[in-house]
Amino acid sequence: MLIPARGAVAVRVAADQRFRVIDLEGTQVVDLFAFVDGDVGEYASAEHTRVFVKRLFPKSGEPFVTNRRRPLLLLEEDSSPGVHDMLCAACDPTRYALLGHTGWHASCQENLERTMDELGYAGVEIPQPINLFMNVSRDADDALNFAPALTRAGDSVTLRALLPSIVVASACPMDLNVINGAGPTDAAVEVLDPA
């Protein structure tokens, strides 16, 4: 399923079902959100995951846990350079205003709100996302450095749902810093196993 540049899609995945998130053209960040299907008050939480795995950034073979500290997704395979972020909040209208943009700008937060609204879940919490392919590092003084994603066209990650989930993937619309290289491009999400 295509995730158009600056847009988002939602997919339902059953427990044990795998799905793949693909950076079609390279250098594109995809914000990933996941909610427990049937109880969207429980969702994948980067801040709880950092404690659970005792790491700042995702790594193959490790889970993402919910705000109730239950493993929800497992990062099974990674054909990308393996650089992902778990520190940054989703971009939102205020983030773009602070960067000097005037007028409306697409954002991962609005993408999440719209796709969940379309499924009948208005007003969901905005979890801190799993920022796939996002290249954030910290220097010796703990300052954050934002750099272009290192992904090449076709790089992907494969995740397994450990509980029935609603997954939202947003092709990040950020075009006011370098994280998406020359600009936002398409991505895709593909469910791999029959439900």
Residues found near Zn ion in the complex (CB under 5 A): 91, 108, 172
DSSP, res 91:
P
Whole-angstrom distance, CA of residue 142 vs CA of residue 150? 21
CB of 16 to Zn ion, least distance (A): 29
Query: Nearer to Zn ion by C-beta: 134 or 166?
Result: 134
Whole-angstrom distance, CA of residue 187 vs CA of residue 30? 8
Q: Provide the token pair at 49.
A: 């995951």
Query: Nearer to Zn ion by C-beta: 63 or 129?
Result: 129
Whole-angstrom distance, CA of residue 96 vs CA of residue 132? 20
Query: Nearer to Zn ion by C-beta: 10 or 172?
Result: 172
CB of 4 to Zn ion, least distance (A): 14
Query: Nearer to Zn ion by C-beta: 75 or 91?
Result: 91
CB of 151 to Zn ion, least distance (A): 15
CB of 118 to Zn ion, least distance (A): 19
- Classify the phi-psi angles of 115: left when phi > 0, otherwise alpha if psi is within -120 to 50, otherwise beta: alpha
Please spell the DSSP secondary structure of 51-87, one letter per residue.
HHHT-SS--TT-EEEBTTS-EEEEEEEE-S----BSS
Which contacts of 97-101 are long-range, i.e. CB under 8 A and separated by 24 or more positions?
99/176, 99/177, 100/176, 101/176
Query: Nearer to Zn ion by C-beta: 53 or 91?
Result: 91
CB of 69 to Zn ion, least distance (A): 26
